[in-house]
Structure 1
């Protein structure tokens, strides 16, 4: 009788897991991307900095937060979730376009449910970076700590769906890595914490070596389809124009030189990782598409490109962008939301280009 009862319990558990998977699939959004036949992307999993942090920093003792108005001004219900934007961020838009779900949640979200884990989460932390010193300066979650959280996530997956399904999810999911901006803008140029040790070429070597180590470890943990975003034209964001662009607030040339040098090295490093069996580790250029929007902003339908929507738009970001500051009435007219981060409209244009130009390289 005991054996029969154990058999029934196993059958019941298996049935519940299957029902859970069916429920997850039924809740998927209707994406706009047509995947190749017999190709499945069960989840999206993100690592990096504020570009795709959906609220992990809410749970961290740091000043780098945005879980207050006017952040989230154009998000569902106007709720400030901890996303450094007026609305959705790239990771949200990607899961939506792929038809997986509407938003990619923060791993540290206390309301996270088991079905959220099955379709992906994000470990990114605003102000983190490849340089181990970068997250220390800002007191945020380092890239290595994000990997430790990912290991914990994998164990949770195994408890929910078992080893085989977990391995399938990891091997077929889309991994997104976005970092480097804070290394260049904050650690190197603003804090100047590395300038006595490294010139720009040597510092970008440090960044690339750290990025390569991170990707190798991520691969070793089961990831196979990994998209790695380039650094943006960081010298052209409003805050860097203000800090290093002179009286005319031009793009800061040194910042952009560092970003382009890092991107060149990163692209070469990723090519060398193609030797890893069954891997699809793809360099994704966002420098040039975003620079094109900045230079030709009016042709893209924007009215303002050198100031953010929040406050004066020249320096306000994170705690400096708050309800005490005046906020523009229509963020869609601006390239930047605050002095550092693009608006949701810009993200939508960039994500559309990313999916169109790069998605096929993962299969």
Structure 2
């Protein structure tokens, strides 16, 4: 039985030998992206019944809209799954993997050490927590610096928990320039106060990734500078083929930015010309740029290794 499970593991890995990662597991919020360039099938959501089968080995998506690093973030919506709960779901997946491998700890360890963990979370801890004083008290309890430290201390524990479960390869995305989303614009200008908060978080997150690489044996964590990539797109939109920068393709009504797409409205026809899909989320065209620069980019985009390098080690 053990030999059968080990053969199954090797068979599943074979089609992706050129990339090196047998599976991709995604954590985060509605900004999380499935890493198609790894050559793997789209990871099904954890809630999908099929994730209990053998295709689990090729990846699972645990991301949840409105989710945050903090458990209470997004509580005003219908039950987002915070990062801590997503990690609990991953533990359930790992237990299933042990069963599939006939409880062969060596084979499971080898498998988990080669998967890629994608983490894209934190925006909602600002948009749906710190910047909502009508619902949350965090902005009166913490300075922006203290709040960023709180978030990074928490995500540090969460990443170490995943490491302790066997994960070794991580791609952690920074926050983008939230103050430049249509939802946060002040007239035609970015909300610099909000962007300054994000910069504090991103700086602490990058330092954390460097520190974890130094202190977690065998771990390989990469930090993606989404803030820098998106800022470049916003400053030089025509270079990337974009012409509409401050308005969502489906999220504006009577000149007012909407949080989500407008019910019953027809989205713009030239969506590839838009940077934003609605008032917060980028279009697929923008996500493609971020994905390409994450996969193949230089250290200024993703540090210290890009996804291709990380997956093929």
Q: If the length of structure 1 is used for normalisation, what is the TM-score?
A: 0.75
Counterpart-to-counterpart distance in 1, 2:75 and 2:225: 27
Find the residue that maps to 2:21 and give its secondary structure. Answer: coil
Q: Is the 8 A contact 1:125 1:140 kept in 2?
A: yes
Aligned residue pairs: how many?
295
Q: Where does residue 47 of structure 2 map in the other structure?
A: 108
Q: Secondary structure at the match of 1:121?
A: strand
Instruction: Answer yes or no: is 1:347 the counterpart of 2:284.
Output: no
Matched, 1:308 2:288: no
Report the equivalent of 2:268: 328
Give the direction of change, closer, same or farther, for the CA distance of 1:128–1:353 in structure 2 (3 Å limit).
same
Gaps in structure 2 of 5+ consecutive residues: 298-305
Counterpart for residue 22 of structure 2? 42
> Is the radius of gyration larger for structure 1 or structure 2?
1
For 2:242 and 2:116, locate their aligned partners in 1 and report how far apart those are by CA, in whole Å.
31
Q: Does 1:190 align with 2:136?
A: no
**Which structure: greater strand fraction?**
2
Aligned residue number for residue 166 of structure 1: 108
Q: Write the mapping of 1:269-284 to structure 2, written as runs, cut at 5 A.
A: 269-274=208-213, 275-284=215-224
TM-score, length basis structure 2: 0.87
Determine if contact 2:133/2:139 at 8 Å carries over to the other structure: no
Counterpart Cα distance in 1 of 2:159 and 2:133: 26
Distance across 1 between alignment mates of 2:291 and 2:251: 27
**Equivalent residues of 1:135, 1:141 under 8 A apart:** no
Aligned residue runs from structure 1 range 32-111, under 5 A: 35=19, 40-52=20-32, 90-91=33-34, 94=35, 96-101=36-41, 103-111=42-50
> Is 1:254 aligned to 2:193, yes or no?
yes
Q: Deviations over 1:90-123 (max 9, x none)?
A: 31xx2x211122x122111234462320111111
Match of 2:121 in 1: 179
Per the alignment, residue 66 of structure 2 pairs with 127
Instruction: Work out whether 1:18 is the aligned partner of 2:7.
Output: yes
Select which of 203, 210, 213 maps to 1:264.
Answer: 203
Runs of 4+ in structure 1 deviating by more than 2 angstroms, as ranges, are 13-22, 110-113, 135-139, 161-166, 313-318, 359-363
Q: Distance in 1 between matches of 2:212 and 2:257?
A: 38
SS at match of 1:133: coil
Measured after TM superposition, the shift of residue 15 of structure 1 is 4.2
The counterpart of 1:209, out of the listed 111, 136, 153, is: 153
Q: Give the drift of 1:217.
A: 0.9
Change (3 A) 1:112 1:273: closer
Task: Please say if residues 234 and 256 of structure 1, whose CA atoms lie closer than 8 Å, have aligned partners that are also in contact.
Answer: yes
Which consecutive unaligned segments of at least 5 residues does structure 1 have? 1-9, 53-89
Equivalent pair of 2:252/2:278 in contact (CA under 8 Å):
no
The offset of 1:25, in angstroms, is 5.2
Contact 1:302 1:334 in 2 (8 A): yes
Q: 2:173 aligns with which of 216, 229, 240?
A: 229
Tell me if structure 2 keeps the 8 A contact 1:50–1:124.
yes
